[in-house]
Amino acid sequence: MTRYTVLPVDAAVLKELRVLDDAGRPCAPYIATGDDVGSPLRCCLRPITLGERIALASYAPLRRWAAARGADPGAYDEQGPVFIHADDCGGFTPGENYPFARPGALRTVRRYDARGHIAGGRLLAIPADATAGFDAAFDDAFNDPDVVLVHVRAVEYGCFHFEVRGGPRHGPGKARNP
């Protein structure tokens, strides 16, 4: 069982992205082809399957978090492409394992402080026991008292996979008040 709560793109944000993405482009849904199969969906944190109605949207994962806290991430407010279902899919159901945790895959565990600035990071080669590997990486991140938020990203494309907030001293998955 995972010790940390994984957060997909928020349902209210998904509703916005299904109209206009964070780069100001209108949503352009399409039917998933063989080229899309297996790519991560950030709405429900599972791989794309053939024939699903999906969209590729530009998403700024730090933007709304920072705005809700009065933080100014400055240049760290980056945006990038994410796949989402073009229609409501019911979202993510937490499970026993972390999503997109294929052993051998490379992930960046990027740490952020209360200002929304990068406070370090770590390259994670997902081990055979992926849950233990992610738990150790998150433990390491949240052992720094300045870290309030972690983004997990793919190394190959740099794209956002999911978010984790809080830390062991604050209870798994519970956000700290910056």
pLDDT in tens, 33-43: 999 999 999 99
Q: What is the pLDDT of residues 62-117, one digit of tens each?
A: 999 999 999 999 999 999 999 999 999 999 988 889 999 999 999 999 999 999 99
Q: What is the pLDDT of residue 167?
A: 57
Question: Percent of the chain at pLDDT above 90?
Answer: 85
Alpha helix (H) residue ranges in the chain: 11-17, 63-69, 130-142
Instruction: Give the pLDDT score at 95.
Output: 81
**What global pTM score does this model have?**
0.89
Residue extents of the structural domains in the chain: 6-85, 106-171
Cα Rg of the chain, angstroms: 16
Instruction: Tell me the HSE value of 53 on the side-chain side, using a 13 A CA sphere.
Output: 8
Lowest mean pLDDT among 102-111, 114-123, 135-144, 169-178: 169-178
